Each structure stands twice: as structure tokens, then as C-alpha cells.
Amino acid sequence: MRDIARDLGVRYVLEGSVQPIDDTLRINVSLIDATTGQHVWAERYERPNRNVFAVQKEITRNVAAAVGSGWGALERAEFERIARIPTEDLRAYDLYLRGVAYGNRKTKENNLLARQMFEKAIQADPKYARAMADCSLTYLNDIFRGWTEPREEWMRRAERLARRAVEIDPSEPWGFVTLGLVYQLKAQTDEALPLFEKAHALNPNDYYVKEALGYAVTYAGSAA
């Protein structure tokens, strides 16, 4: 979905399916925020398949009204997205996005550049919990990938940032994720697992939070 959105140059993607059941057509339609994978709107229609073209026109009108009208799902999703931006400092937010872009390149050099951007974002907004969590993650990435020698010092820095993120904004799941990863590295599974579960409860639609919880459950030996 992210690849499709990138190729089309869009944030939201409308997807659907048609399933014939006896004399009925079942049509499922979803509007997806491709940056997060989250469904922001979904609807199911069941219509007799006697006149496929009439059904096509009806569904097209319904979807266009539900998604694209002045207060449709698309506009509501944009308002919610803006409201979720975790800082009022636009410079801090810009620096954070630059850090994310560097971090996605997954090299030692870019991981360092990502950390520098996150640190600048925190300087611009000292209460920017997500930037703290992502900055913590850069130290953990160094440890996981063998990019650093001072492992214990990096662990202390990662833990300090993660704890600060949780203190500042307990609704930000990634503070709990990074703190959970710190405990995992310390082989303290009993302390780590509840943190991943808390993160998942805060945002069950975040793919990477689910992934972190999955690894934690597996590592704890309780995967099912």
C-alpha cells in the first residue's frame, strides 16, 4: 500500500473488493491512510446482481459522497492527522521528519544523522515525546546492529530518553516500545512484555508496534 501511494503521489488510497454470493453482490470499500496502514473509513454494500451497471453507479455515488464530500471521511482523516502532530513547534516537527527520513535508510551513518535531527527537534521542543522515543531508538539500533562499542553507555542513554518520553506523554506508544526494547536487551522479559502490550493498546493499528509486540511475545516463549 505504501509503495502504491508513493508511486501515485498520494496519502490516501481507496481499495475495494467484489464478491458474488448467489444472486447478490457483496462490495467492500475501504479508505486507507497509506503512511500508517490505518483504515480511516470502511463500508460494505450488498445488492442484487440483476443490474450490475446500476449497482456500479449507486456504489460510486455513495462512496464519493461518504469519502469526498465537505465533511467526508477524507477531510475528517486530515483533521485527525493534523490534530495528532505531537508538537506545536513546526521547526521541531520538520527536524523530526528529517530524522525519520535518515533513519529509514538503515545505515550506520544515516542512523547518526537521524539522531542529530531528533536531538535538534528535542532542543526546539523539550516536551517532544515522539522525538525522544525515536532518538532512543537510534541508540538501540547501534546496539542491535553492532555499530557501537560503548554498549552500556548507549543503553543508559536509550533508557533515559525512553523514560522521559513516557513521563512527558503517556499516550505516545513509542516511548513504551523503546523502553521495552531496553528491557529486552537487559534480558528482563517480564518487565519488557507489559510495555509492548501497553504500546499496542495505545495504537493497535501501528504495524511496527504490532511487530515489536510479536517479537517480544516470541522472545518470552509464549507465542501462539
110-151 per-position pLDDT tens digit: 999 999 999 999 999 999 999 999 999 999 999 999 998 788
Percent share of the chain, pLDDT over 90: 34
**30: β partners:** 15, 42
- Any domain includes 62: yes
pLDDT tens, position by position, 84-98:
667 777 888 889 989
Confidence at residue 85, expressed as pLDDT on a 0 to 100 scale: 64
Domain final residue, candidates 29, 54, 83: 83
User: What is the rounded distance in angstroms from the CA atom of residue 173 to the CA atom of residue 198?
Assistant: 7
Q: Are residues 112 and 58 in the same domain?
A: no
- pLDDT at position 102: 93
**For position 57, what pLDDT does the model report?**
79
Q: Is the dihedral of CA 162, 151, 123, 79 positive or negative?
A: negative
Q: In the chain, how many domains are there?
A: 2
Percent of the chain with pLDDT over 70: 90
Indicate whether 29 pLDDT > 80: yes
- Pick the range with the lowest mean pLDDT from 51-60, 63-72, 99-108, 144-153: 63-72
How many Cα atoms sit within 13 Å of 122 on the Cβ side?
20
Same domain, 102 and 213: yes
pTM for this predicted structure? 0.62
| Domain co-membership, 63 together with 99 | no
Q: Are residues 126 and 184 in the same domain?
A: yes
- The DSSP code sequence of 101-135 is HHHTT-SHHHHHHHHHHHHHHHHH-TT-HHHHHHH
pLDDT at 81: 61
Give residue 97's domain range.
Answer: 87-219
Question: How far is 129 from 134, CA to CA, in rounded Å?
Answer: 9
Asked if residue 221 has pLDDT above 80, the reply is: no
Distance of CA 136 to the CA centre of its chain: 17
Parallel/antiparallel/unpaired status of strands 12-21 and 24-33: antiparallel
Among 83, 109, 125, which residue terminates a domain? 83
In a shared domain, residues 157 and 198: yes
